[in-house]
Amino acid sequence: MTEELPTYILTLYPDPLLRRPSEPVSSFDDELEGVARAMLARMHESNGVGLAAPQVGLQRRILVMNPSGEEGDDRVLVNPEILERTGAETMHEEGCLSFPAVYAEIRRPDRCKVRFFSVDGVEHTEEFSGFSSRVVQHEYDHLEGVLLVDRMSPADKVRNKQVLQDLVARYQERRKREESPA
Ligand code: ZN
């Protein structure tokens, strides 16, 4: 059986779409399942460990992840809510598919307890720790319109200055092309 899945294009910084808070999902149907599978496909093609709906232009509270990179470890969290963040804060390098070639040491609590729905509409509460917890917190930020640059230390901002400026320049180029098609 072959199925047509949408092919998503990544939304890159500083596209304002990344700043819009996402809306809760209200219907758990085939369309949602298709979106989740297409998001997972995009994430794997881009060698990412997590992806949030705003990164493919959708203002919906959906995040997908596979922190281990192992086949069969794909996760989909719909309408996630972080109930609590606990544990020691740790620094770890993070990247983001919306910020190609940008890396920064980000401080986050080690554990988080999350309530979410699976694509079939079943409610779950799960505790994440270590790298999985970091991925959940990073992707959850996207649903709130919070980005890597907001959590970067001033030193990392300086270190990534050129790459960030290039991303802004490329975005402006794209906008210009869209506004005045040849
Ligand atoms: Zn990201």
pTM tops 0.75: yes
- What pLDDT is attached to residue 180? 82
- What pLDDT is attached to residue 40? 97
Cα-to-centroid distance, 111 and ligand 1 (Å):
19
Judge contact between 48 and 128, C-beta under 8 A: no
Which residues are annotated as catalytic?
139
Q: How far apart are CA 145 and CA 46, in angstroms?
A: 21
Judge contact between 168 and 143, C-beta under 8 A: no
b/e string for 13-25 if b means 16 or more Cβ within 10 A?
Answer: bbbebbeeebeeb
How far is residue 130 from each of residues 90, 138, 146, measured CA to CA in Å? 9, 13, 21
Q: How far apart are CA 11 and CA 31, in angstroms?
A: 21
Cα-to-centroid distance, 107 and ligand 1 (Å):
15
Cα-to-centroid distance, 182 and ligand 1 (Å):
33
- What pLDDT is attached to residue 3? 64
Q: How far apart are CA 47 and CA 164, in angstroms?
A: 21
Q: List CB contacts of 82: < 8 A, sequence separation 6 or more.
A: 112, 113, 114, 136, 137, 140
Cα-to-centroid distance, 133 and ligand 1 (Å):
14
pLDDT along the chain (182 residues), means of 10: 77 97 97 97 96 98 96 96 96 97 96 98 98 98 98 96 97 91 65
- What pLDDT is attached to residue 1? 47
Domain boundaries, the chain: 16-179
Cα-to-centroid distance, 70 and ligand 1 (Å):
20
Q: How far apart are CA 134 and CA 126, in angstroms?
A: 14
- What pLDDT is attached to residue 4? 75
- What pLDDT is attached to residue 64? 98
Cα-to-centroid distance, 29 and ligand 1 (Å):
26
Tokens read off for 62: 């959906």
Q: How far apart are CA 76 and CA 158, in angstroms?
A: 34
Residue located via tokens 């232009």: 57
Q: List CB contacts of 40: < 8 A, sequence separation 6 or more.
A: 51, 64, 66, 74, 76
Q: Which CATH class is domain 16-179?
A: alpha beta
- What pLDDT is attached to residue 179? 87
